[in-house]
Amino acid sequence: MMEYLKLDAGCRTALMDGTMVPDSPGHMATRRFYHALSGSRLRLCVDGYLFAVAVFSLERDTQYQFTYAYQREENWSTYTQNLTPQSYQEGDYVFEEECYFRVCVRRKDGVDMESEDFDQALSLVEYYHKEPEHEIKSCFQEEIVETVEAIRVYAESVSDVLKLCLLADTHYTVNGTWADTAANIQEVAKEAKYDAIIHLGDFTDGMVTKEITKEYVNRIITDLERCGVPLYITLGNHDSNYFQNRQNTFTEQEIKELYRLPGESLDYYVDIQNSVRMIFLSSFEDSLPIRYGYKKEQLTWLRNVLFSASTGTKFLIFSHDAPLAELDYWSYLIRNGEALLDVLEECNAREEYQIVGFFYGHTHSDYIFNDCSFPVISISCAKLEYFTDRKPKDVVVWERRAETVTQDLWDSLLIDLKGEWLKLVRFGAGVNRECSFAKKKSTYKEKAQKKKEERLVKIWAHRGASGHAPENTMPAFKLANELGADGIELDVQLTKDGVPVVIHDETVDRVSNGTGRVCDYTLDRLRSLTVNKNFPAYGIVRIPTLEEVYAFIKTTDMTVNLELKNSMIFYEKLEEKVLVLAEKMGLSDRVIYSSFNHSSMKKIKELEPKAKVAFLYADGIVDVEEYADKYGVYAVHPYMTNTEYPNMVEKCHAKGIRVHVWTVNEEADIRRMKELGVDVVITNYVERINI
């Protein structure tokens, strides 16, 4: 018996994927793609209109599988270019083979349609099609048997086991592979008797309309709920439907309703058998300057959830993203990630509690991070995808091929609660993994600190972490410290009333909402400006005084490279003021003074012989090492191209003169500076020092 399906509303004229009907003005087409089998039939049951069918074959463009790319309509089928002006008709349209399609409609009289006309016409399109029961593909049948057997054997070998189905990053697309994944999970679940299913987020690519995204998400949720066990979801960065699609972003309330989250926020926990508490954390906020990470109020909530639990509780933490940037290619910093780990480590240090593991997706790769007191485990993507670039260091990426067992990828997480052991039984591409969650010493902070201390080439943040935050501002300096900078470079000038302030240009125009020269502003007027032009997400950001910056520097171990901006405006007493302030703040031994005005550096040395000064320059200087040595400078600060002079670095080092190079942003250039053996790289991107 054929079924009737009502089609949806459409979009006007040109379709986003480029399917257009030449010389057919006023036509409209469905936003959605529909599935047809051989023999499926369409009929337009209204006078005054004609319709045509844009046919999309099952052929896939492999760039979406083998490179980092998202098809802008979440469509992995291929347009057959079948439409012509003559394609419009009134009678039945019968599909000759399986395909996807969109329906185009226009008026017979050629008059442009309004959306209401299109909706009315579509409401009278009859679509006769019966979707068959999904059959398990032969390439998966043996894998299903082996997976069920592996779960059975493990469950029988331990006395207290928790069984979870764990998947991440489905990224639903038209003509994708979700139907196979869903069928395979359902088959295994029949025998495995899971305690729950966990989805670690990124249900879709988040690039189409809210209505279509809702349909895709509900399809995935419905398929997983058919397994007859509880389904728990943690949200991914695509799940707010923001990805290149901000006009269709979901509100928090819409997200909660769509993904069926319990509680008052996007974070929640569930207590299940044997004193196990599963905690689900959201880890993305597109409106914040650092989008990946965790809010401070989340950490307060997490502490309460952990330390209010009964004695003997074991915790499983689920998040779409990792807690550390080194585990995530896409983030230079996980907001409050270390603070999150601090809370978990504090909990795991208590005798009455235990963290079983932290599980995350997002990286589309496998990895077990063992430097915390509990395992931190990355789950690969269920999406059919295989490319090895744009991945964190040391992860494993499995080859994926359609119509083979490697097309699929998800895990059965089996936890031996008494034996403190967990096993991940892989379905599809990849191998089984296992590890202990017995408590051990946490070493990740010690290792990070040791790595920083052993750097042969130090890294200074140019105007702070100016690649990610407003330059020469407190947010940029604080971010540089969080990213592990050895020092910061900043620029100082004087206000009209003689106060040292931190800003690069002699005018405020480029970085602020004001105009005019810095030296013509009093401090009060200057502080009324906002300097967030390139990073509006930071909100109101003020030009800091040098004293304000120094007060922060005292709380860190960072060096300061203070550039005196006095090569165009010869600020009176600037040298005296900065020396006095450094002495007052107890930072004299941590400040290096530099300027393009080399006479100013001579003056600094005359005023304070112990001061460290550096000659800053952009154009080549003949025998720069001799020149620097003559004036007793601590270092030279050449623009990067000046390091290409033969043996420049070696000659300076032979004279005991350090080489601090600016501004080195590209990864290849950073590598070259390391090979040359420079002492310091000054960069906008502190995180790149670890390449």
User: What phi and psi values does residue 231 have, to the nearest 5 degrees?
Assistant: -115, 130
Is there a catalytic annotation at residue 462? Answer: yes
Picking from 338, 346, 341, 269, the residue whose alpha carbon sits closest to that of residue 307 is: 346
Q: How far apart are CA 6 and CA 125, in angstroms?
A: 7
Segments in 474-557 forming alpha helices (H): 474-482, 523-526, 546-553
Residue that has been written with the tokens 């070259």 in this structure: 672
Does the annotation count 27 as an active-site position? no
Burial class (CB in 10 A: 0-12, 13-18, 19+), 80: middle
Instruction: Tally Cβ neighbours within 10 Å of residue 87.
Output: 17
Among the listed residues 250, 205, 245, 199, the one whose alpha carbon sits nearest the alpha carbon of residue 223: 199
Pairing of strands 231-233, 28-30: unpaired
Of 199, 362, 364, 504, which is the active-site residue?
504
* Structure-token match 């039945």, residue found: 92
Provide the H-helix boundaries in 402-513.
Answer: 444-453, 474-482
Q: What residues contact 449, with CB distance under 8 A and at least 6 apart? A: none
Q: Which of 462, 468, 598, 660 is catalytic?
A: 462
Amino acid at the residue 270: V
Phi, psi for 451 (deg, rounded to 5): -65, -40
Q: What is the rounded CA–CA span in Å between residue 459 and residue 485?
A: 6
Tell me what percent of the chain is helix, strand and coil, each rounded to the nearest 5: 30, 25, 45
Beta strand 161-167 with 196-199: parallel, antiparallel or unpaired? Answer: parallel
Q: Which residues contact 644 (CB under 8 A, 6 or more apart)?
A: none
Quick check: 583 and 542 in contact, CB under 8 A?
A: no
Residues 402 and 405: their CA atoms lie apart, in Å, by 8
d(CA 208, CA 216): 10
Type of residue at 672:
R
102: its two tokens = 């969109």
DSSP 294-319: --HHHHHHHHHHHHTSPTT-EEEEEE
Q: How many CB atoms lie within 10 A of CB 506?
A: 16
Cβ(495)–Cβ(573) under 8 Å? Answer: no
Residues carrying an active site annotation: 462, 504
